[in-house]
Copies of this chain bind each other. A is one copy, B any other.
Protein backbone atom coordinates (compact mmCIF):
# COMPACT_ATOMS: atom_id res chain seq x y z
CA UNK A 1 0.00 0.00 0.00
CA UNK A 2 1.35 3.45 -0.93
CA UNK A 3 1.35 6.36 1.54
CA UNK A 4 -1.95 8.28 1.61
CA UNK A 5 -3.57 5.28 -0.03
CA UNK A 6 -2.55 6.25 -3.54
CA UNK A 7 -2.92 3.75 -6.38
CA UNK A 8 0.27 2.80 -8.24
CA UNK A 9 -0.36 4.98 -11.31
CA UNK A 10 -1.77 7.90 -9.36
CA UNK A 11 0.05 11.26 -9.21
CA UNK A 12 -0.12 13.44 -6.11
CA UNK A 13 -2.36 16.52 -6.02
CA UNK A 14 -0.66 19.01 -8.34
CA UNK A 15 -1.06 22.75 -7.96
CA UNK A 16 0.36 25.52 -10.11
CA UNK A 17 0.10 29.06 -8.71
CA UNK A 18 1.04 31.69 -11.29
CA UNK A 19 2.31 35.21 -10.47
CA UNK A 20 3.57 33.92 -7.15
CA UNK A 21 6.15 36.67 -6.80
CA UNK A 22 5.96 40.04 -8.49
CA UNK A 23 9.31 40.93 -10.06
CA UNK A 24 9.92 38.02 -12.44
CA UNK A 25 8.52 37.86 -15.97
CA UNK A 26 7.16 34.44 -15.08
CA UNK A 27 6.73 33.19 -11.50
CA UNK A 28 5.05 29.96 -10.52
CA UNK A 29 4.74 28.02 -7.27
CA UNK A 30 4.46 24.37 -8.21
CA UNK A 31 3.30 21.78 -5.71
CA UNK A 32 3.41 18.02 -6.20
CA UNK A 33 1.83 16.96 -2.90
CA UNK A 34 4.15 18.29 -0.20
CA UNK A 35 6.95 19.15 -2.63
CA UNK A 36 6.94 22.92 -3.26
CA UNK A 37 9.17 24.78 -5.70
CA UNK A 38 9.22 28.42 -6.81
CA UNK A 39 10.01 28.65 -10.50
CA UNK A 40 10.78 32.06 -11.99
CA UNK A 41 11.58 33.00 -15.54
CA UNK A 42 13.84 36.01 -16.14
CA UNK A 43 14.22 37.57 -19.59
CA UNK A 44 17.52 39.27 -20.37
CA UNK A 45 18.78 40.73 -23.61
CA UNK A 46 21.79 39.05 -25.17
CA UNK A 47 23.09 35.51 -25.27
CA UNK A 48 26.10 33.70 -23.81
CA UNK A 49 29.37 34.26 -25.65
CA UNK A 50 29.34 30.91 -27.49
CA UNK A 51 26.09 31.92 -29.24
CA UNK A 52 26.97 35.51 -30.14
CA UNK A 53 26.05 36.45 -33.67
CA UNK A 54 24.13 33.25 -34.38
CA UNK A 55 20.79 34.96 -34.33
CA UNK A 56 19.25 32.68 -31.75
CA UNK A 57 18.28 32.74 -28.12
CA UNK A 58 19.12 30.61 -25.11
CA UNK A 59 17.33 28.98 -22.19
CA UNK A 60 19.28 28.25 -19.06
CA UNK A 61 18.35 27.12 -15.55
CA UNK A 62 19.55 27.19 -11.99
CA UNK A 63 18.34 25.02 -9.13
CA UNK A 64 18.69 25.33 -5.39
CA UNK A 65 17.19 24.03 -2.18
CA UNK A 66 16.54 26.21 0.83
CA UNK A 67 18.73 24.74 3.59
CA UNK A 68 15.75 23.56 5.61
CA UNK A 69 13.54 22.42 2.77
CA UNK A 70 14.57 18.91 3.82
CA UNK A 71 14.08 16.71 6.88
CA UNK A 72 17.45 17.66 8.30
CA UNK A 73 19.22 20.87 7.39
CA UNK A 74 21.54 20.84 4.40
CA UNK A 75 24.51 23.16 4.33
CA UNK A 76 23.79 26.25 2.21
CA UNK A 77 25.68 25.92 -1.09
CA UNK A 78 26.51 29.64 -1.14
CA UNK A 79 28.22 29.19 2.24
CA UNK A 80 30.04 26.04 1.12
CA UNK A 81 31.35 28.00 -1.85
CA UNK A 82 30.13 25.66 -4.53
CA UNK A 83 27.15 23.94 -6.02
CA UNK A 84 27.25 20.19 -5.53
CA UNK A 85 27.18 17.58 -8.28
CA UNK A 86 23.49 16.80 -7.72
CA UNK A 87 22.56 20.48 -8.07
CA UNK A 88 24.56 20.94 -11.27
CA UNK A 89 23.11 17.74 -12.72
CA UNK A 90 19.55 18.84 -11.98
CA UNK A 91 19.92 22.35 -13.36
CA UNK A 92 21.49 21.00 -16.54
CA UNK A 93 18.51 18.64 -16.89
CA UNK A 94 15.99 21.44 -16.35
CA UNK A 95 17.68 23.64 -18.94
CA UNK A 96 17.91 20.89 -21.57
CA UNK A 97 14.28 19.96 -21.01
CA UNK A 98 12.99 23.48 -21.44
CA UNK A 99 15.18 24.21 -24.45
CA UNK A 100 13.33 21.37 -26.14
CA UNK A 101 10.12 23.37 -25.69
CA UNK A 102 11.32 26.49 -27.45
CA UNK A 103 12.28 27.45 -30.98
CA UNK A 104 15.52 29.27 -30.18
CA UNK A 105 15.66 30.97 -33.61
CA UNK A 106 12.24 32.52 -33.09
CA UNK A 107 13.27 33.66 -29.61
CA UNK A 108 16.09 35.72 -31.08
CA UNK A 109 18.96 37.11 -29.04
CA UNK A 110 17.39 36.81 -25.60
CA UNK A 111 18.33 34.60 -22.69
CA UNK A 112 15.67 33.24 -20.38
CA UNK A 113 16.88 31.98 -17.03
CA UNK A 114 14.68 29.58 -15.10
CA UNK A 115 15.37 29.61 -11.37
CA UNK A 116 13.90 26.68 -9.49
CA UNK A 117 14.18 27.01 -5.72
CA UNK A 118 12.82 24.27 -3.53
CA UNK A 119 10.90 25.59 -0.51
CA UNK A 120 9.87 22.16 0.74
CA UNK A 121 11.12 18.80 -0.49
CA UNK A 122 9.18 15.57 -0.45
CA UNK A 123 10.49 13.68 -3.47
CA UNK A 124 10.38 14.63 -7.13
CA UNK A 125 11.82 18.13 -6.84
CA UNK A 126 13.48 17.96 -10.27
CA UNK A 127 10.36 16.84 -12.09
CA UNK A 128 8.24 19.40 -10.25
CA UNK A 129 10.82 22.03 -11.22
CA UNK A 130 10.60 21.18 -14.92
CA UNK A 131 6.82 21.18 -14.78
CA UNK A 132 6.61 24.53 -12.98
CA UNK A 133 9.39 26.13 -15.01
CA UNK A 134 7.50 25.34 -18.19
CA UNK A 135 4.53 27.39 -16.98
CA UNK A 136 6.78 30.27 -15.87
CA UNK A 137 8.46 30.13 -19.26
CA UNK A 138 5.12 30.20 -21.06
CA UNK A 139 4.15 33.29 -19.05
CA UNK A 140 7.41 35.03 -19.89
CA UNK A 141 7.08 34.24 -23.61
CA UNK A 142 3.47 35.39 -23.65
CA UNK A 143 4.63 38.65 -22.08
CA UNK A 144 7.25 39.08 -24.81
CA UNK A 145 4.57 38.66 -27.44
CA UNK A 146 2.11 40.91 -25.59
CA UNK A 147 4.59 43.75 -25.29
CA UNK A 148 5.67 43.23 -28.91
CA UNK A 149 9.22 42.22 -28.11
CA UNK A 150 8.48 39.13 -30.21
CA UNK A 151 6.12 38.75 -33.12
CA UNK A 152 5.73 35.00 -32.89
CA UNK A 153 5.59 32.96 -29.73
CA UNK A 154 8.58 30.59 -29.80
CA UNK A 155 6.93 28.00 -27.52
CA UNK A 156 6.60 24.78 -29.48
CA UNK A 157 4.39 23.11 -26.89
CA UNK A 158 4.32 22.28 -23.21
CA UNK A 159 6.71 19.89 -21.52
CA UNK A 160 6.31 18.17 -18.19
CA UNK A 161 8.16 15.61 -16.12
CA UNK A 162 7.43 12.84 -13.65
CA UNK A 163 9.39 10.37 -11.60
CA UNK A 164 8.50 6.70 -11.66
CA UNK A 165 10.14 3.81 -9.87
CA UNK A 166 10.03 0.33 -8.49
CA UNK A 167 9.24 0.26 -4.79
CA UNK A 168 8.69 -3.02 -2.98
CA UNK A 169 8.70 -4.78 -6.36
CA UNK A 170 5.86 -2.62 -7.65
CA UNK A 171 6.09 0.00 -10.37
CA UNK A 172 4.65 3.28 -9.09
CA UNK A 173 4.22 6.81 -10.37
CA UNK A 174 5.28 10.12 -8.76
CA UNK A 175 7.30 8.87 -5.79
CA UNK A 176 7.23 10.84 -2.60
CA UNK A 177 10.28 10.98 -0.35
CA UNK A 178 9.53 7.89 1.73
CA UNK A 179 9.10 5.86 -1.45
CA UNK A 180 12.06 7.43 -3.23
CA UNK A 181 14.45 6.54 -0.45
CA UNK A 182 13.36 2.90 -0.65
CA UNK A 183 13.16 2.55 -4.43
CA UNK A 184 15.08 -0.20 -6.17
CA UNK A 185 14.82 1.74 -9.40
CA UNK A 186 14.20 5.41 -9.92
CA UNK A 187 13.45 6.96 -13.31
CA UNK A 188 12.75 10.51 -14.37
CA UNK A 189 10.99 11.10 -17.66
CA UNK A 190 10.43 14.39 -19.47
CA UNK A 191 7.92 14.46 -22.34
CA UNK A 192 6.26 16.85 -24.75
CA UNK A 193 2.52 17.25 -24.84
CA UNK A 194 2.33 14.97 -27.89
CA UNK A 195 3.95 12.15 -25.91
CA UNK A 196 7.46 12.20 -27.33
CA UNK A 197 10.44 11.78 -25.02
CA UNK A 198 12.84 14.62 -24.22
CA UNK A 199 14.76 12.96 -21.43
CA UNK A 200 14.76 9.57 -19.78
CA UNK A 201 17.08 8.91 -16.86
CA UNK A 202 16.72 5.59 -15.14
CA UNK A 203 18.96 4.34 -12.35
CA UNK A 204 19.04 1.01 -10.58
CA UNK A 205 19.58 2.04 -6.98
CA UNK A 206 19.41 -1.56 -5.84
CA UNK A 207 19.05 -4.43 -8.31
CA UNK A 208 19.40 -3.80 -12.07
CA UNK A 209 16.05 -3.80 -13.83
CA UNK A 210 14.74 -5.70 -16.81
CA UNK A 211 13.51 -4.54 -20.18
CA UNK A 212 9.95 -5.41 -19.14
CA UNK A 213 10.21 -3.30 -16.01
CA UNK A 214 11.47 -0.42 -18.09
CA UNK A 215 8.43 -0.66 -20.37
CA UNK A 216 6.11 -0.74 -17.40
CA UNK A 217 7.73 2.36 -15.90
CA UNK A 218 7.52 4.18 -19.21
CA UNK A 219 3.82 3.46 -19.43
CA UNK A 220 3.27 4.91 -15.96
CA UNK A 221 5.31 7.96 -16.84
CA UNK A 222 3.38 8.56 -20.04
CA UNK A 223 0.07 8.58 -18.23
CA UNK A 224 1.34 10.67 -15.34
CA UNK A 225 2.69 13.30 -17.70
CA UNK A 226 -0.61 13.39 -19.58
CA UNK A 227 -2.36 14.30 -16.31
CA UNK A 228 0.22 16.93 -15.46
CA UNK A 229 0.06 18.62 -18.84
CA UNK A 230 -3.69 18.95 -18.36
CA UNK A 231 -2.99 20.80 -15.11
CA UNK A 232 -0.53 23.10 -16.89
CA UNK A 233 -3.11 23.90 -19.53
CA UNK A 234 -5.76 24.69 -16.96
CA UNK A 235 -3.36 26.88 -15.03
CA UNK A 236 -2.36 28.80 -18.13
CA UNK A 237 -5.99 29.45 -19.02
CA UNK A 238 -6.79 31.17 -15.71
Is A40 an interface residue when CB atoms closer than 8 A count as contact?
Answer: yes
The A83-121 residues at the B interface (CB cut-off 8 A) are 83-89, 91-92, 96, 100, 113, 115, 117, 119-121
Is A71 an interface residue when CB atoms closer than 8 A count as contact?
Answer: yes
Query: Per a CB cutoff under 8 Å, which of B38, B78, B89, B199 touches A78?
Result: B78
| Chain B residue, CB-CB nearest to A84 | B88
Is A54 an interface residue when CB atoms closer than 8 A count as contact?
Answer: no
A237 contacts across to B, CB distance below 8 A = none
- A7 CB to closest chain B CB, in angstroms? 23
Interface size class of A (residues with CB under 8 A): 35 or more
> Do B115 and A76 have beta carbons less than 8 Å apart?
yes
Given contacts A44-B73, A77-B78, 5 further A-B contacts (CB under 8 A): A42-B73, A73-B113, A197-B209, A198-B204, A214-B218
Interface residues of chain A, those whose CB is within 8 Å of chain B, are 21-24, 27, 34, 36, 38, 40, 42, 44, 62, 64, 66-71, 73, 76-89, 91-92, 96, 100, 113, 115, 117, 119-121, 187, 191-192, 195-204, 207-211, 214, 218, 222
Going nearest first, the 4 A-B pairs with the smallest beta carbon separation are A196-B208, A85-B88, A77-B78, A40-B68
12 contacts between A and B (CB under 8 A): A22-B34, A27-B68, A62-B67, A78-B78, A81-B81, A88-B88, A89-B89, A195-B211, A197-B214, A198-B208, A200-B200, A211-B222
